[in-house]
Protein backbone atom coordinates (compact mmCIF):
# COMPACT_ATOMS: atom_id res chain seq x y z
CA UNK A 1 0.00 0.00 0.00
CA UNK A 2 1.50 3.36 -0.97
CA UNK A 3 1.43 6.06 1.69
CA UNK A 4 3.03 9.41 2.40
CA UNK A 5 2.37 12.38 4.63
CA UNK A 6 3.31 13.94 7.92
CA UNK A 7 2.25 13.22 11.48
CA UNK A 8 -1.33 14.42 10.96
CA UNK A 9 -2.02 13.34 7.39
CA UNK A 10 -1.40 10.00 5.74
CA UNK A 11 -2.33 9.28 2.14
CA UNK A 12 -3.11 5.89 0.67
CA UNK A 13 -2.85 4.99 -3.02
CA UNK A 14 -5.27 2.46 -4.45
CA UNK A 15 -4.69 0.06 -6.02
CA UNK A 16 -1.27 -0.19 -4.39
CA UNK A 17 1.99 -0.32 -6.32
CA UNK A 18 2.50 -3.79 -7.79
CA UNK A 19 -1.04 -4.98 -7.01
CA UNK A 20 -2.33 -7.74 -9.28
CA UNK A 21 -5.88 -8.83 -10.09
CA UNK A 22 -7.34 -5.31 -10.04
CA UNK A 23 -10.89 -5.23 -11.45
CA UNK A 24 -11.17 -3.73 -14.94
CA UNK A 25 -14.43 -1.88 -14.37
CA UNK A 26 -16.68 -0.14 -11.87
CA UNK A 27 -20.46 0.38 -12.06
CA UNK A 28 -20.66 4.01 -10.96
CA UNK A 29 -24.46 4.07 -11.06
CA UNK A 30 -24.44 1.62 -8.13
CA UNK A 31 -22.76 4.25 -5.91
CA UNK A 32 -24.69 6.94 -4.09
CA UNK A 33 -24.00 9.66 -4.87
CA UNK A 34 -22.93 8.60 -8.35
CA UNK A 35 -19.32 9.76 -8.89
CA UNK A 36 -19.70 9.73 -12.70
CA UNK A 37 -23.33 10.63 -13.40
CA UNK A 38 -22.72 10.81 -17.15
CA UNK A 39 -21.62 7.13 -17.39
CA UNK A 40 -22.51 3.80 -15.85
CA UNK A 41 -19.62 1.36 -16.37
CA UNK A 42 -16.19 3.00 -16.18
CA UNK A 43 -12.68 1.84 -15.35
CA UNK A 44 -11.94 0.74 -11.80
CA UNK A 45 -11.16 3.79 -9.59
CA UNK A 46 -7.52 4.70 -9.09
CA UNK A 47 -7.22 7.00 -6.10
CA UNK A 48 -5.36 8.77 -3.36
CA UNK A 49 -7.22 9.21 -0.07
CA UNK A 50 -6.10 11.30 2.89
CA UNK A 51 -6.61 10.23 6.48
CA UNK A 52 -7.42 13.83 7.42
CA UNK A 53 -10.92 14.35 6.00
CA UNK A 54 -10.82 18.04 6.96
CA UNK A 55 -8.42 18.52 4.03
CA UNK A 56 -9.81 19.01 0.54
CA UNK A 57 -7.91 18.39 -2.66
CA UNK A 58 -7.92 21.66 -4.57
CA UNK A 59 -6.92 20.15 -7.91
CA UNK A 60 -6.26 16.75 -9.42
CA UNK A 61 -5.04 15.36 -12.73
CA UNK A 62 -3.40 12.26 -14.02
CA UNK A 63 -3.15 9.45 -16.50
CA UNK A 64 -3.76 5.72 -16.67
CA UNK A 65 -1.81 3.99 -19.41
CA UNK A 66 -1.94 0.30 -20.34
CA UNK A 67 1.42 -1.19 -21.34
CA UNK A 68 1.91 -0.64 -25.06
CA UNK A 69 -0.93 1.89 -25.23
CA UNK A 70 -1.72 5.57 -24.99
CA UNK A 71 -3.12 7.30 -21.88
CA UNK A 72 -6.84 6.51 -21.64
CA UNK A 73 -9.49 9.27 -21.54
CA UNK A 74 -10.37 9.87 -17.87
CA UNK A 75 -12.91 11.16 -15.44
CA UNK A 76 -11.21 13.03 -12.58
CA UNK A 77 -13.27 13.34 -9.40
CA UNK A 78 -12.25 15.65 -6.54
CA UNK A 79 -14.14 17.67 -3.93
CA UNK A 80 -14.03 20.52 -6.48
CA UNK A 81 -15.85 18.50 -9.16
CA UNK A 82 -19.43 19.59 -9.90
CA UNK A 83 -22.03 17.79 -7.73
CA UNK A 84 -19.33 15.60 -6.17
CA UNK A 85 -18.71 17.12 -2.74
CA UNK A 86 -18.62 13.63 -1.24
CA UNK A 87 -15.07 13.30 -2.58
CA UNK A 88 -13.57 15.53 0.14
CA UNK A 89 -10.21 14.03 1.10
CA UNK A 90 -10.01 11.99 -2.12
CA UNK A 91 -8.94 12.20 -5.75
CA UNK A 92 -10.27 9.52 -8.10
CA UNK A 93 -9.24 8.74 -11.67
CA UNK A 94 -11.53 6.47 -13.68
CA UNK A 95 -11.02 5.58 -17.33
CA UNK A 96 -14.06 6.33 -19.48
CA UNK A 97 -14.28 2.65 -20.46
CA UNK A 98 -13.18 -0.52 -18.62
CA UNK A 99 -9.43 -1.06 -18.50
CA UNK A 100 -7.72 -3.72 -20.62
CA UNK A 101 -7.83 -7.09 -18.78
CA UNK A 102 -4.71 -9.00 -17.68
CA UNK A 103 -2.51 -5.97 -18.44
CA UNK A 104 -0.05 -3.88 -16.47
CA UNK A 105 -1.07 -0.23 -16.20
CA UNK A 106 0.88 2.83 -15.07
CA UNK A 107 -1.00 5.42 -13.03
CA UNK A 108 0.18 8.99 -12.64
CA UNK A 109 -1.68 11.16 -10.18
CA UNK A 110 -0.87 14.81 -9.47
CA UNK A 111 -2.78 16.91 -6.98
CA UNK A 112 -2.67 19.88 -4.66
CA UNK A 113 -3.48 19.42 -0.99
CA UNK A 114 -3.34 22.20 1.62
CA UNK A 115 -1.40 24.38 -0.82
CA UNK A 116 1.29 21.78 -1.53
CA UNK A 117 1.73 19.92 -4.85
CA UNK A 118 2.27 16.12 -4.94
CA UNK A 119 2.72 13.54 -7.70
CA UNK A 120 2.73 9.74 -7.56
CA UNK A 121 3.54 7.22 -10.29
CA UNK A 122 2.88 3.52 -9.73
CA UNK A 123 1.92 0.30 -11.54
CA UNK A 124 -0.76 -2.36 -11.13
CA UNK A 125 -2.08 -5.29 -13.16
CA UNK A 126 -5.73 -5.85 -14.01
CA UNK A 127 -7.24 -9.27 -13.67
CA UNK A 128 -9.02 -11.24 -16.38
CA UNK A 129 -12.43 -9.95 -17.45
Domain total for the chain?
1
pLDDT value of position 83: 56
pLDDT in tens, 20-62: 999 999 998 888 777 888 889 999 999 888 877 666 666 778 9
Instruction: Compute the average pLDDT of residues 56-78.
Output: 88
Q: For the whole model, what pTM was predicted?
A: 0.84
Compute and round to an integer the Cα radius of gyration of the chain. 14
Which band of pLDDT confidence, cut at 50, 70 and 90, is reported for residue 2? very low
More confident residue, 32 or 119: 119
pLDDT in tens, 90-116: 888 999 999 999 999 999 988 887 788
Question: Domain of 27?
Answer: 2-125
CATH of the domain at 101: 2.60.40.3780
Alpha-carbon torsion angle 110, 13, 128, 40, nearest 10 = -70
Amino acid sequence: MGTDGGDKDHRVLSPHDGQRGVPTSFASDQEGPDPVAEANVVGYPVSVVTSDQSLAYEEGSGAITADGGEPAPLYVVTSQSPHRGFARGCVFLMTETPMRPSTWHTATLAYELAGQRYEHVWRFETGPE
